[in-house]
Structure 1
């Protein structure tokens, strides 16, 4: 479940990055793919650093799901997708100049 949340949040983060920095955007499809990859990376990084509970703070169990952990995964995935999309855009722009 956490992986799916990270993928979706990364996809959204990648597209937000593309819209926010139009000069670094590579189109919605590429932004989505790179964002999803970044979302997975961000989610995995948060897990390695102590889990999403450490980032989201005290979590409450709602319906058997840890909402704090899910929100932490979503935040980490969104930021990961945004950052990786912007970095890829910067690399593409730098390579185009060369």
Structure 2
């Protein structure tokens, strides 16, 4: 469940970053794909840093918020990297 939250929030984060920073906007599809990749990575890294919690405890509001934040930030960061690379190539 945590991975799904990270992926979805990454897609949203990638699209929001693309709209906020017009020079990095790569279109909805590329923004979403970059965000999904970044959301998966960001959520996983944040989970490792925070210790991952007790898997038998279920999802609490704190873990959901941290997954959304990690996924959204990761999605925005990967989109920024992809956007800069594509802008340098074009």
Is this a same-fold pair by TM over 0.5?
Answer: yes
Across the aligned residues of Structure 1 and Structure 2, the Cα RMSD in angstroms comes to 1.6
1:31 aligns to 2:31 (yes or no): yes
Using the TM superposition, give the Cα deviation of residue 52 of structure 1 relative to its aligned residue in structure 2, in angstroms: 6.2
Query: Can you list the C-alpha shifts for 1:16-66, whole angstroms capped at 9, x where unaligned?
Result: 01101111111001100110110000001011112466xxxxxxx8xx531
C-alpha distance in 2, partners of 1:85/1:48?
A: 22
C-alpha distance in 1, partners of 2:37/2:23?
A: 21
Q: TM-score, normalised by structure 2?
A: 0.89
Superposed, 1:18-97 pairs within 5 Å as 18-51=18-51, 65-96=59-90
Q: TM-score, normalised by structure 1?
A: 0.82
Structure 1, unmatched stretches of 5+, are 54-60
Of structures 1 and 2, the larger Rg is shown by 1
Structure 2, unmatched stretches of 5+, are none
The number of residues matched between the two structures is 87
